[in-house]
Every structure is written in C-alpha cells, then in structure tokens.
Structure 1
Amino acid sequence: MKSNWFKQAVGYQIYPKSFRDTNGDGIGDINGIIEKLPYLKDLGVDFIWINPIYKSPQFDGGYDISDYYALDEDRFGTMADLQNLMMQAHSMGMKVIMDLVVNHTSNQHPWFIESRKSKDNPYRDYYHWQPATPDHLPNNWISFFGGSTWTIDEPTGEAYFHVFSKEQPDLNWHNPKVREEIYDMVRWWLEQGIDGFRLDAISHIEKAPWDFEIKSFKDNSPWEPFMNVAGIEAYMAEFKKLFDEFDALTVGEASGVSSKEATSWTDDHGYIDMIFELEHSNKDDNGQGDLKLFKDTIMRWQEDLLARGWNAPYLENHDQPRVIDVLGDGTEASAKALAVAYMLLRGTPFIYQGQEIGMTNFDYTDISQVDATDTIYLYNEKLAEGLSKTAALKVATVNSRDHSRTPMQWDATENAGFTDGKPWLVINPNYLEKNVAAAQTNPDSILNLYKFLIQLRHEYQDISEGHITFLFPEHPAVLAYKRGEFLIVTNLSATPTTITFERPGHDYQDMVTQAIVPDLLELSLESWAYRIYKKIKE
C-alpha cells in the first residue's frame, strides 16, 4: 500500500547552479547543497527537489540530457557526492527527488547522434522523423520556444520533431524499445536511493496524428497537438507500476491536464501523487500577474481536487520571475501575504530557493547578463523587428526565467556568500540587505514566517489534510478560506479593505499575536494584511 507521508510534507526546490558553490568555479554544486542541509532542516522542509544535474551541454539549463546515467561531474560533482547528499539528507529526515526528463533528450545524446546517421539506423525510430522540405513541413505546429516544431536535418534530408528547441528532439514513445530504455533508467535511479521524481513536461510525451491542423494560434491552442493527448494514459499506467514498486514520490509538470482531469491523475489510484498546474502563473507584457486569475485558479483546483486528488501549491519556480514583483509590489509585506495565502492551502506546498527571503527580479541592463535561451531568442527577434537594443532587452527580460535563477543570497559578503569565484549568472545587488543571514536574525522576517507556516502544517491535520471552504470568492483582492478550526484571511493588494461575515463568527485566537478575537463579524484589513485564526473550543 502506497504511503501518503507527502500530505503532511513541504517541499523545497533547488536550482543547483545557483544554490551554493563550494569549489570556486562560480557554479553551484552538490557539495553546496550538502553544506546547506542544516539550513533546510532548520527551515522545516521535508524533502528537496533538485533541478537537473545530469550530463548535459546545458543548452536549456540541464533539461537537455546527453546521458541519463551520468552526472555533469565538471559542474555539479560525482555520484559519490550525490550518494553522500542522499545519506545526509535521509539522516536528517529529509527525502531527495530529482527531475525526470523523458519527453526529449539533448541532440548530443548517443541515441540521437545514431538516429541522424541514416533512415535505417536502429535508433532512427527512437525519435520522430518525417519527410520534409523547407516549403512543405509535416504540419503547421509551433514549438514552445517559437518557430516550427520541425527541423530539417542535412544528413538524411528529413525533419525531426521537437516541442522545445531544436537542440531537444522529442523521444518517440510509440516505440516500445524507447519505453523499455526509459523504465530501466528510472528503475536504476530509484535503486540508487532517489526518493522520487518531478516529471518534467510529462504531458507532452504523446502527440496527435501529424495531419492535425492548428486552427488558431491564440491562448493554449497552438500546443493542443502535444498537450495531454489521448493515449498518454497507457504510458502513465506503465510508469505508475514502477513508481509504486518503490513507493516513489511523483510530481507531474502536466500542462494541458485540467483541474477536472487531475483527479484521476492524482487520486489514490492515479498515475502520480500530485500535479503542478501552470494556469495561475500567467503574466502580462509588463510582468504583472493577474490577481483575479490567480485567485480563481487556486480556488477551482482546490475545490475540484477536494473529493479526490492532490494539489501541489507553489508561487515560484525556476521558470518564473519572482512572485514578490509579479503578484506583489516588491515589498516584504506583499511577500508575506502571498506566503500565507498559498502555504496553508490543501496540498503539498513547494518553496523555491530564495522565495523564503523575498528575493526579487533583476534589473537587466545588457543582454550579456542573460543566460536563458528563450530570452535570447526573443531579444534577437525583437531586434530583427526593428526595436532598439534597450527596447528589445526590456521586452525580452520582463518575464525571463533568469529572474529566478540569479544566485542564492546567503549573506552580505562578496558574491552574496554564493561563491568565492566569478558567479555564472549576475547576482542581484540587493543581496547586501536581502540575504539569509539577515533574515535569520530578524524575528519579523519572511524567512521566520515561512518557518511558522511550515510548523502549522506539521502540527495541525486540519491544515495538512483537512477540508477547505473558500469565503468571499468574488472579492477582487481577498483570498480567505476555512480549514477545519482555522480561518485564513489575506489581502493580496496594497489597498486596505473591510470584509463582513454573514453571521457573527466564533471566538478565535490569532495564531501570530496570540490575541483573542471575539465574535468575529467585521474585519478591517490593511495593505497586504494576513490573519491566521484558530477557533477557540467552547
């Protein structure tokens, strides 16, 4: 019987290149994670998710894997280092999960190198190849990185398929040999002691027939042919058998899986334990989030997965700008309100490195400061359209993934305590004031609020697994809900507001100030206010 330990747990996402460098090469490493395990234990998290550390040309931040069985030793460290990390994490009561990237490989993977050689190569069918000419591609599908999903390859004159960049060819999951190779690899990693996986881009592994024509290029429709396409269920069922054998924790990045469909993906009989939904993180061209969309999406997913299924709430990750500048107004008050709003929801919440100290977006002044491939693509595209360098840089970087990848700010020493060398990516100059060391000594810091919220999740089953009922669903800024004996209210705006309950409430205790709040009927909320109340038993 699969255990449900994760329902009381909190996860912490580590982008290893930017977490902590111990050998002075400017790139974070496995030993850096080991060094900071006591910090993570003190924070209170139960498991860590490590972004890809496999062998890779790093065209897309390690999501282009050239050897599934090897680590990128020059950058991150050895298998012995990883085994040491797992041993030490486990001794502290923390689990370790890694990224599983099986929709595609690097174009430098031996399978693809062989696949390119000839049409009758044994590895040809490991990928999707089709006859094509520049004027007649197999279809009109477009990739997530822009441009066609097809690239014509000179040796054979045919085109191969890729939903991301041309350096990331998609694997052909119709081929049973591919699936066998993947499952053998997954088993091998689980046998090494890994506790589970975050399944990258997993909802893209099945494709529509090649003659599927995109009718509209708006919203999500351009990617309809490779988002949660019928037939994926068979592959996920095969995965489930393997995951269950090891009681592995599984988190799916599954765009295209709706909140209604997510129930069958994540219930007690589902393929995986939880899903990262992507709907709530939309941003406009100025980098601003849509608060109504955020609130409506959160409520819908929570309600749809209440009877069965499980959520994985999050605010930030390695692909998103910093939430303090997207949904907040850059202030610590906004970061705190957002923390309370999502950390006490139903599900297993994830904290992304630096989020717990309110790290902010970076003010880019030159394209040389950027590493993210898609950002550079967009910059060059805007230059080609006639924009000035300044204007193109602004458009390209406003929602860049690199905002969340600037190195972790540990203290106020040189390079924010991240490295003794030259950091691989620019460090935000606000590290002098905004860093872990400063937050640890400030009782009112965002960091200490996160510790408190994690403690609540661990201590009270009402919060970890209890029911959820939303209040004031139509209010433009207030996200409020009940979790058993708890009442959580947040004002996710800089505008003060007052809310009135339908009937006099119970007597509550303010869990932050310990004050008694009698007969709650009306509540005035200042800018970015939050309240965490617990019902006083009669």
Structure 2
Amino acid sequence: MMKKLIAFITLLLLSSILLPVQAEEKDTWEDEMIYFIMIDRFHNGNTSNDFEVDMNDPRAFHGGDIQGIIDKLDYIKDMGFTAIWLTPIVNNESKGYHGYWTEDFYEVEEHFGTLDEFKTLVQEAHDREIKIILDLVVNHTGYQHPWLQESEKQDWFHEDLPITNWDNQENVENGRLAGLPDLAQENPETRKYLLDMAKWWIEETDIDGYRLDTVKHVPKDFWEEFSKEVKSVKEDFFLIGEVWHNDPTYVADYAETGIDSFVDYPFFNEATRIFSKSDQEIGKYMEVVWKRNQNLYDNPYLLGNFIDNHDNKRFARLAIEKEQDPVTQLKQALTYMYTAPGIPIVYYGTEIAMDGGEDPDNRRMMEFEDHELVSYIASLSDIRKNYPALWKGDLEVLLDQNGMTIVKRTYEGDSLIIAINHTTSDQTVTFTHEQLKADLQLRPILENTTIIDDSDGYEISIPKETSEIYLVEEATKQTNAQLWIIVAAVVFVVGSITIYLFKKRKQN
C-alpha cells in the first residue's frame, strides 16, 4: 500500500512539473525575435576566402563570411534571438559585398563560402532552435549579369528606363531601380526560372523563410503565385516582404498576395523619430498604430518591427545628431520595440550602439565587445519569450503625459505593464487598489525599480530616461522559485519516508 502511495505522489509531482511546459503551445512566428546580419560585415571566420578584401574601402568586401556566423551562433542565441535574417548569399558581381547584385542565382558568393558551409550553418542554427531567413531578390540582377549578353534572353528584362514617377505603379514595377536591370516577371520563362530557383534553395538547404527584397517593384500576381509555390515545398515557410513606403495602407495591400509579414516602415519612421530624442509622446502613437494594424492585417502580430537597418542612418547616429546619448535612447527604443505588438528585428551592431550614417557607412564591420546593451537585449528577449502577452496580447494605453507612458498588454487574463519614462526627469505614478483590484500586485521584472505599497495603492518610481516592465499577478501567487522549493520539500519528505520504511522493514 505504501509503495502505491509513494508511486502516486511521485507521478503527481512529475505531472505538476511537466504539465505547464506541455500546456504552452508554440505559435509559428509571432514569438520569434530576429537578428539581421549583413554577411560581409559581421565576422571573418575563414581568411582563405579574403581575396579582394579592402577594409579601407566602404564599398568593397571586408571579409565576413558564413563560417564567421557559425562561430557566433552561441553569441546570437545568448541574446535570445530565435531567427537570423541574412542578406543574399548568391554569387554577386565585383563589389557586390551586400549581395543585391546577383550574377548567379544558384551559386553561393565565393567570398562568403560554399553551399556545404551554408548547409552546415542552417543545421547548426536548427540545432540551437534558431531559424534561418534568407534575403531573396527577384526584381533585378547585377549590372553585368551574363543574361544581358544573351540574345534569347533579352525579353527577360524590361526596357532600360529609369523610375521617374514613384506614384506611377507601372513605372515603379518596370523601371530600373538604381539603374539595375529589371526582370520581366510577366515573361513565363523568367517567372518559371525565378519560382524554380526559390523552391530549390528551400529543398536544398532547409531554410525557414525569405525576406523578400523590393516587393513593390514586382507585380502582385507574381507574388501570389510565388507564395503558393514556396509553401507547397514547406508549409510553414515564412515570407516577410520589404515594401518601402510610408503609407500603411499601401504596404498592407500586399498582404493579399500571400506574403505573411512585412518589415514595418511606418513603425520605423515614427519609432526613430520619437526615441532618438527625449520628451516625445509615445502612448498615443502606440495606440493609433495598434488599432490601425488591427484593421489592416489579419495577423498584425507578424509585422516586423525595427529601429535600424542597412538602408538608413543608424539609430545611434540619429540620437547623436540630436545631442542625445545613443545608449540611453537605444534602451528606450528597444524596450518599446520588444513590448509592442509585432516581431522585433535587431540589426547587427545595434547591441553595441554602432554609429553609422547613410549607406554604406551604416554597414561598418562588426566589433564584438561586452556592451551593456548586449545584456539588456538578452533581458528583453527573456521577458518576451516567457510572457505571451507581449507577442499575442491586446494593448491599452493607461497613461500618456509629456513623454511618460504606461501601457498594458493582456492575454487570456495575464497582464504586463510597460512603463517608459522618456523624459529628462524622474517620474512617480500611483496605481490605486481599485485600478489593480485588491488581490493584485505589481512585480518589476526588467530593472527592479522601486515600488511602495501603502494604503492608497502602489507607487512606482521610474528614473529619468529609463523603462520598467511589471508583471501584474495575484498578491499571493507563488513564483516559480517558490514552487520549486515546495516541490523539493515534498520530494525530501517522500524520500525520508521511503528511507525510514526501508530501514524499519530491514530491522524487522
């Protein structure tokens, strides 16, 4: 009888430990956190492919390669990232260090490594539960692509005309962007080649998604077929498109093509404007964006939020130009990006407050250092991973006053409060017991700021230009640490009883 009782208690303990893990089902992409790498400018892991490297020329190859990324996978994982977006890896013409001047769609750029090395990267990333998103260009080729010299492929390209009217969609789709030869996707042969190529990379390397370059320069009917074709190869394959436009409605129109997500330029425009300088209103914008995206998209949680990328001045430069401390402003912006609805995308170098002006200055070689932003991003990632309210919860602005903003994110009864003090003075806010309900309390989980609990409610103090995230929980709710102490105590008691009974039986 005693053996059965002990077995039952043991099974009960195991169930209590395992059930919470099994109960939380992982969504496909809403909870991802993406690290964006320009391959040539990240890390040089193999010096044998360093021909034509010139560190003094910002438009030349600098030596970053696939092996360099493999070497730094643990660094990326330790910051909490669950996916990596890579600039194009296909073979490029001379000085195509960035990957956007394709010379051969089926070959890996020799400066970056080999196809086998890339397959190893994908496998090593998957072993660490990190997904790989590959940048794909189907709008144009490099300036000197061999097809341009082949008479039978002249109709694979549009006429050599520049884009002169950005409000004319036909001109935007058929004109040459920056003079690059513009592919004619309406040509059945060209279309088939591009579709077959896109499917080949998935089948050959097991990548998890494409970041689609220059989406608005390619007809929508092509993207409709493209989306169906690539997902016929891998059902959960992720497509995030670049529609570089300031009008949210224009961007959202491309969601009808089957593209899952978009890098959110409207978000970027406002976030960089607001956070590159203190004393800017935040909450009103957050609420407007959230409601707008809810109306525009079937799943607004899939939009890619970013404050830095390879085509614009770095955020640190924007802060410096406004005579602000870039690290302070980056912490604020990153907190906002990680707690707003959408997938956070961090451009390499942001974690060290890398400076950089217009292209190509915003593509400097990465420097690895023990920077405070590295651990700050890791903390934000850990919070976002553990609290689904941040990646699929509703949003409510509780306070928005002269740069002091308090936002509530709620999902299935669980709530987090995000307090962003974007002012140049310390702020104190009081939550009454009526606001939180008598059985609820706030627990800081980011910076461990001060909370005073008195008869009136909870008074929180946020130092100037800092942020805090609070968990709203039951006043008597046990923390994970407390639960483990209880489990350990029960196991100890059960073990002691077992030993006692064993000794007694032996004596008898």
Q: Does residue 309 of the first structure (1) align with residue 290 of the second (2)?
A: no
Query: How many angstroms does 1:500 deviate by?
Result: 7.4
Match of 2:193 among 181, 185, 188: 181
Q: Is the 8 A contact 1:505 1:521 kept in 2?
A: no
Aligned-partner Cα distance in 2 for 1:79–1:243: 20
Quick one: which amino acid aligns to residue 357 of structure 1? I
Quick one: which amino acid aligns to residue 289 of structure 2? W
Q: Is the 8 A contact 1:491 1:528 kept in 2?
A: yes
Q: Does residue 69 of the first structure (1) align with residue 106 of the second (2)?
A: yes
Query: How many angstroms does 1:249 deviate by?
Result: 1.3
1:338 is aligned to 333
Q: Is the 8 A contact 1:280 1:294 kept in 2?
A: no
Within-5 A mapping of 1:20-419: 20-24=43-47, 25=50, 26-57=62-93, 58-59=95-96, 61-73=98-110, 75-114=111-150, 121-129=151-159, 140-141=164-165, 162-166=175-179, 168-192=180-204, 193-206=206-219, 232=220, 234-245=221-232, 246=234, 247-256=236-245, 258-260=247-249, 265-266=254-255, 271-282=258-269, 299-306=287-294, 308-310=298-300, 311-327=303-319, 329-361=324-356, 399-410=357-368
Aligned-partner Cα distance in 2 for 1:521–1:259: 39
Quick one: which amino acid aligns to residue 526 of structure 1? P
**TM-score (structure 1 length as normaliser):** 0.68
Q: Is the 8 A contact 1:334 1:493 kept in 2?
A: no
Aligned-partner Cα distance in 2 for 1:508–1:521: 8
**TM-score (structure 2 length as normaliser):** 0.72
Q: Is the 8 A contact 1:111 1:123 kept in 2?
A: yes
Q: 1:99 to 1:4 in 2, by over 3 A?
A: same
Q: 1:459 to 1:254 in 2, by over 3 A?
A: same
Aligned-partner Cα distance in 2 for 1:487–1:517: 16
Within-5 A mapping of 1:379-528: 399-410=357-368, 435=369, 438-439=370-371, 445-472=372-399, 475-484=401-410, 485-494=415-424, 505-506=435-436, 507-512=441-446, 513=448, 516=451, 518=453, 525-528=462-465
Quick one: which amino acid aligns to residue 316 of structure 2? I
Query: How many angstroms does 1:191 deviate by?
Result: 0.5
Instruction: Structure 1: give runs of 5+ residues left out of the alignment.
Output: 115-120, 131-136, 144-148, 151-159, 207-231, 362-398, 411-434, 440-444
Which has the greater radius of gyration?
Answer: 2
Q: Deviations over 1:229-265 (max 9, x none)?
A: xxx2x22221221232212111111123843465565
Aligned-partner Cα distance in 2 for 1:272–1:501: 42
Aligned-partner Cα distance in 1 for 2:247–2:27: 23
SS in 2 for 1:305: helix
Aligned-partner Cα distance in 1 for 2:431–2:388: 25
Q: Is the 8 A contact 2:43 2:63 kept in 1?
A: yes
Aligned-partner Cα distance in 1 for 2:194–2:395: 38
Larger helix fraction of residues: 2
Q: Is the 8 A contact 1:262 1:305 kept in 2?
A: no
Q: Is the 8 A contact 1:313 1:350 kept in 2?
A: yes
Aligned-partner Cα distance in 2 for 1:264–1:330: 38
Aligned-partner Cα distance in 2 for 1:355–1:183: 34
Q: Is the 8 A contact 1:173 1:205 kept in 2?
A: yes
Q: Is the 8 A contact 2:305 2:345 kept in 1?
A: yes
Quick one: which amino acid aligns to residue 123 of structure 2? M
Quick one: which amino acid aligns to residue 491 of structure 1? N
Q: Is the 8 A contact 2:240 2:261 kept in 1?
A: yes
Q: 1:173 to 1:503 in 2, by over 3 A?
A: farther
Q: 1:88 to 1:60 in 2, by over 3 A?
A: closer
Aligned-partner Cα distance in 2 for 1:253–1:497: 39
Q: 1:70 to 1:487 in 2, by over 3 A?
A: same
Q: 1:521 to 1:262 in 2, by over 3 A?
A: farther
Q: Is the 8 A contact 2:451 2:461 kept in 1?
A: no
Aligned-partner Cα distance in 2 for 1:281–1:463: 19
Aligned-partner Cα distance in 1 for 2:238–2:386: 22
SS in 2 for 1:98: strand
Aligned-partner Cα distance in 1 for 2:176–2:451: 55
Aligned-partner Cα distance in 2 for 1:98–1:520: 50
SS in 1 for 2:316: helix
Q: Is the 8 A contact 1:142 1:163 kept in 2?
A: no
Aligned-partner Cα distance in 1 for 2:208–2:288: 30
Q: Is the 8 A contact 2:305 2:344 kept in 1?
A: yes
Q: Is the 8 A contact 1:86 1:96 kept in 2?
A: yes
Aligned-pair identity (%) = 27
Aligned-partner Cα distance in 2 for 1:298–1:203: 26
Query: How many angstroms does 1:534 deviate by?
Result: 1.3
SS in 1 for 2:248: coil
Q: Deviations over 1:244-302 (max 9, x none)?
A: 22121111111238434655655xx861221112234459xx9x958869877654433
Q: Which has the higher contact order (CA 8 A, sep 6+)?
A: 1
Aligned residues: 409
Aligned-partner Cα distance in 2 for 1:297–1:172: 40
Q: Is the 8 A contact 1:161 1:170 kept in 2?
A: yes
Aligned-partner Cα distance in 2 for 1:504–1:467: 21
2:495 is aligned to none
SS in 2 for 1:535: strand
Query: How many angstroms does 1:127 deviate by?
Result: 1.4
Quick one: which amino acid aligns to residue 386 of structure 2? E
Q: Deviations over 1:114-156 (max 9, x none)?
A: 2xxxxxx4322211116xxxxxx7984379xxxxx89xxxxxx
Computed over aligned residues only, the root mean square deviation of the Cα atoms, in angstroms, reads: 3.3
1:17 is aligned to 40
Q: 1:322 to 1:478 in 2, by over 3 A?
A: farther
Aligned-partner Cα distance in 2 for 1:479–1:127: 51
Query: How many angstroms does 1:13 deviate by?
Result: 0.6
SS in 2 for 1:169: coil
SS in 2 for 1:251: strand
1:442 is aligned to none
Q: Does residue 536 of the first structure (1) align with residue 456 of the second (2)?
A: no
Quick one: which amino acid aligns to residue 18 of structure 1? R
Q: 1:290 to 1:30 in 2, by over 3 A?
A: same
Query: How many angstroms does 1:104 deviate by?
Result: 1.1
Query: Bigger shift: 518-527 or 84-93?
Result: 518-527
Q: Is the 8 A contact 1:320 1:401 kept in 2?
A: yes
